[in-house]
Amino acid sequence: LESSLLTQPWASVCFGESAFLAKVCFRDTGYILLISDLNSVWYESADTEAVGQRSKELNKRLTVHVSSFLHHLRNVMCPLLAGQPDAATSFSCHRTASGLSLHVKSELSGLPFYWDFHCCPAPVEMVSRHLVRPLIWMSLALQHQVQELTYLLLQKDAEIEDYRESGAALSRDRLRTERFQEEMFQQNFMAEVRNTAS
């Protein structure tokens, strides 16, 4: 399950006033959920036995197979993570000293359906594997891309300057651009990053 979770993208979700990043993977054998507010990271992994036991406690009137509960949970969680939550489903979360609970209220087979995800703090290795390492690799890839684009812009400026020195002129003045200032670009970029982070 956790290996499959690595291939899932992070999605931005809101529960009330709180914003989170989350990813989830459902299989016939259970599910795993990872959720973070960028200060803490929580997770829950549940197999079919745990799902069956909790469904009996929360949904005494529903007598369906565990696979139906898992299928329904997938159907309510995936639209939420895709930014298209079902209006008939409500979500709320509650933080405790020991973790985070995510409450789901929906309908299954015409009856009320309730579910609680009981998330505990994720181990350091899991946080590193799913959050820290991918972010570092993405940061390095973006830095490399910025360096490549900076080099191309400087080359383009040199090419345009050569045309000008050869007597070429723009047919439309609105297409005129200023020379690329690498240092100014870097300063503005870092200022934007700091503003976003704060």
Q: Are residues 142 and 94 in the same domain?
A: no
Q: What is the pTM of this model?
A: 0.77
Return the higher-pLDDT residue of 175 and 12.
12
- 131 domain-assigned: no
- 101 domain-assigned: yes
pLDDT at 193 exceeding the cut of 80? no
Q: Are residues 140 and 118 in the same domain?
A: no
Q: Are residues 111 and 148 in the same domain?
A: no
List the CATH number of the domain containing 116.
2.170.210.10
Q: Give residue 75's pLDDT.
A: 92
Q: Give residue 197's pLDDT.
A: 65
Mean pLDDT of the chain: 90
pLDDT at 187 exceeding the cut of 70? yes
- 189 domain-assigned: yes
Q: Give residue 110's pLDDT.
A: 85
Residues 85-108 pLDDT 10s: 888 899 999 988 889 999 999 998
Q: Are 13 and 81 in contact (CB under 8 A)?
A: yes
Q: Are residues 36 and 101 in the same domain?
A: yes
Residues 32-77 pLDDT 10s: 999 999 899 999 999 999 999 999 999 988 888 899 889 999 999 9
Nearest to 91 by CA among 35, 53, 27, 51: 35
Q: Are residues 111 and 151 in the same domain?
A: no
Q: Give residue 165's pLDDT.
A: 87
Q: Are residues 87 and 148 in the same domain?
A: no
Q: Are residues 57 and 10 in the same domain?
A: yes
Q: Give residue 45's pLDDT.
A: 96
In the listed set 91, 122, 153, which residue is the last one of a domain according to the structure? 122
- 43 domain-assigned: yes
- 130 domain-assigned: no
Q: Are residues 62 and 159 in the same domain?
A: no
Q: Are residues 55 and 115 in the same domain?
A: yes
Q: Are residues 106 and 144 in the same domain?
A: no
Cα 178 from Cα 89, distance rounded (Å): 53
The rounded radius of gyration (Å) of the Cα atoms in the chain is: 25
List the CATH number of the domain containing 185.
1.10.287.450
The secondary structure of residue 152, as a DSSP letter, is H
Q: Are residues 115 and 141 in the same domain?
A: no
- pLDDT band, very low/low/confident/very high, at 198 (cuts 50, 70, 90): low
Q: Are residues 36 and 111 in the same domain?
A: yes
Burial 31-40 (b: 16+ CB within 10 A, else e): bbbbbbeeee
Instruction: Report H helices in the chain.
Output: 2-6, 48-58, 66-81, 124-127, 133-165, 182-197
- pLDDT band, very low/low/confident/very high, at 172 (cuts 50, 70, 90): confident
Q: Give residue 31's pLDDT.
A: 96
Q: Count of domains in the chain?
A: 2
CA angle 45, 105, 47 (to 5 degrees): 20
Q: Which residues constitute the domain of residue 169?
A: 136-197
Residues 116-126 pLDDT 10s: 999 999 999 99
